[in-house]
Amino acid sequence: MFATISRRGVLTGTAALLASTALPRLALAQGGGRLIVAADSEPRQLNPAIVASNGVFFISSKVIEPLAEASYDAGGLKPLLATGWEGAEDGLSITFALREGVSWHDGTPFTSADVAFSAMEVWKPLQNIGRSLFANLETVETPDPLTAIFRFSKPTPLQLIANALPVVSSVLPKHVYEGSDIAENPANRALIGTGPFKWGDYRPGEYYLLTRNDSYWGEGLPHLDDIVFRVLPDRAAAASSLEAGEVHLAAFSSVPLADLDRIAKVPGLSVVTRGYEALTYQLTVEINHRTGILSDLKVRQAIAHAIDKDFVLDTIFLGYAEKATGPVPANDPTFYTPDVTTYPFDIAAAKDLLDEAGYREGPDGTRFSLRLLPAPYFAETRQFGDYLRQALAAIGIDAQIVPHDAAGHIKAVYTDHAFDLAIAPTVFRADPAISTTILVRSGQPDGVPFSNQGGYANPDLDALIDEALVTLDPGKRVPLYKDFQRMVTADLPLINVADWSFTSVVADSVTGVATNPRWVVSNWAETGLSE
């Protein structure tokens, strides 16, 4: 236990870390300091322009920047590599004004050519989210080094693209990637960006090291000398390292929820829930509609009725979540509607639906068996898998859990379709078109993570999704997405159970915390350490 983390305490903790992880012994600049962060996983792919996911952003966003970041200010966006954007009235083009005086970490000037290359060669063909979001992007014109004009074959809402910028617009250096196999380029592992921190080092199972970019375009930034992401997959280890003063920050609820009340009382530590508002996770039951039994709506309704959401919130999330009503969370002020079909916990109703569908209990009380694959990324998804197995047993469904590591789960669900039910931590990213409609839109190619790989196809729903994608007027676009929620909850291509966010445990010596709604996956230029 410690009373406060003083400058002396920070240096002592850092020395211990240097010894324990064999980090290079870099001098700590006066007034800057080394921020030590607990990381509970090691992404294999660190390029956010290819894989737009929070596990990648957590590290890479400090090195590689998007055109804009989320903001608490009016308008919801803070300019980064773009200083402004304007959409044409016909929706067929968006013009970006780019920031002057920005250089890549190797000294090469940043220009519109980098934006055009990233959009056309990476975001559109390769990125997990961009390949659908930019499907109608035809070309990017670069009339001068500080202007990029995106031209679309169909009307594209400025509201959508603006909402998506923090997630999909990580810009790569054209001169590093052009002419290479982009997916295999060495710079995907030793990142080169424009951000406040440069790539330093990586030792598997030990740490990632990022160092200060002394040529950063932000005046007087960054405040830190370097950031160490210390690999601590054991949540108990993250908690004990915080209490010992060896780690300053543990994000993404890497301290177990059950420990938060205790650790919040430790002098010098604070539990922070802000900084995740634009990162709402959704506990989702994915359904393989290729499984004949699950193609029956009554069976899907029965499964929905078998889930006690109150129990899930109280027991698994310990109150750090909200009950989901559908594919858009209630904390979204623009698109959410409560006017949807709901499925209250009702075992009798679930059994009646299964009887009506023709799946009556056998002599042993079992109606049929299913393969259940809980995503291994979070304790909550694994725990919910155990709960769902028991909940389904109560209505006569024998759910057999099939465990996988992260790579095996991705392959089994999204490439091989070797599942009946899967538990996914999907993410709502400020607009249904960014990463939500892809969960139910038919025609997704095999192998795209967090997309409709269950074979669900509804032409009416597809048509609505396609219409909303080219509707320019927010006054018409928003009602379409409210209809989208009503259609999804009525037909249940998937089942939304809970909407949850995360917590951070932060040493009081850390400044500039939770300054935007995506803070944990933003660039941390304004984050520092007090004396």
Distance CA 38, CA 334 (A): 34
Cα–Cα dist 385/372, whole Å: 7
Which one-letter amino acid corresponds to residue 354?
A: L
Q: What CA–CA distance (Å, rounded) separates 396 from 399?
A: 9
What pLDDT sits at residue 30? Answer: 38
Provide the H-helix boundaries in 4-77: 7-21, 54-60
Q: For 262, left (φ over 0), alpha (ψ -120 to 50), or beta?
A: alpha
Per-residue pLDDT tens digits for 281-301: 999 999 999 999 999 999 999
Condensed to tens digits (0 to 9), the pLDDT of residues 139-182 reads 999 999 999 999 999 999 999 999 999 999 999 999 999 999 99
Both tokens assigned to 106: 């190797």
Share of the chain above pLDDT 70, in %: 94
DSSP 144-177: ETTEEEEEESS---HHHHHHHHHHH-----HHHH
d(CA 243, CA 255): 11
Q: Which residues contact 420 (CB under 8 A, 6 or more apart)?
A: 287, 288, 291, 293, 294, 370, 371, 372
- Distance CA(68)–CA(166), nearest Å, equals 5
Would you state the pLDDT for residue 256? 86
Backbone angles phi, psi at 498, to 5 degrees: -145, 150
What is the strand order of the sheet 207-212 is part of? 197-203, 207-212, 226-231, 34-39, 249-250, 504-507, 269-272
Q: How far is CA 69 from CA 53, 434, 518, in A?
A: 15, 15, 8
Q: What is the pLDDT of residues 388-420, one digit of tens each?
A: 999 999 999 999 999 999 889 999 999 999 999
Q: What is the dihedral of CA 260, 313, 451, 288, to 10 degrees?
A: 140
Query: Which pTM was predicted?
Result: 0.84
Q: Give the C-alpha separation, 472 to 449, whole Å.
A: 28
Q: What per-residue confidence (pLDDT) applies to 234?
A: 84
What per-residue confidence (pLDDT) applies to 235? 81
Q: Which residues contact 417 (CB under 8 A, 6 or more apart)?
A: 288, 290, 446, 453, 454, 455
**Residue 506: what are its φ and ψ, rounded to 5°?**
-130, 135
* pLDDT tens for each residue of the chain, 531 residues long: 222 222 223 333 333 444 344 444 333 333 589 999 999 888 878 999 998 888 899 999 999 999 999 999 988 999 999 999 999 999 999 999 999 999 999 999 999 999 999 999 999 999 988 988 898 999 999 999 999 999 999 999 999 999 999 999 999 999 999 999 999 999 999 999 999 999 999 999 999 999 999 999 999 999 999 999 999 988 888 999 999 999 999 999 889 888 898 999 999 999 999 999 898 999 999 999 999 999 999 999 999 999 999 999 999 999 989 999 999 999 898 999 999 999 999 999 999 999 999 999 999 999 999 999 999 988 899 999 999 999 999 999 999 999 999 889 999 999 999 999 999 999 998 899 998 999 999 998 898 888 999 999 999 999 999 999 999 999 999 999 999 999 999 999 999 999 998 999 999 999 999 999 999 999 999 999 997
Contact 209, 201 (CB under 8 A): yes
pLDDT at residue 32, rounded to an integer: 85
Q: Give the per-residue pLDDT at 22.
A: 45
User: Within 328-473, where are the H helices?
Assistant: 347-356, 379-393, 406-414, 432-435, 459-469
Helix (H, G, I), strand (E, B) or coil at 256: coil
pLDDT of residue 178: 98
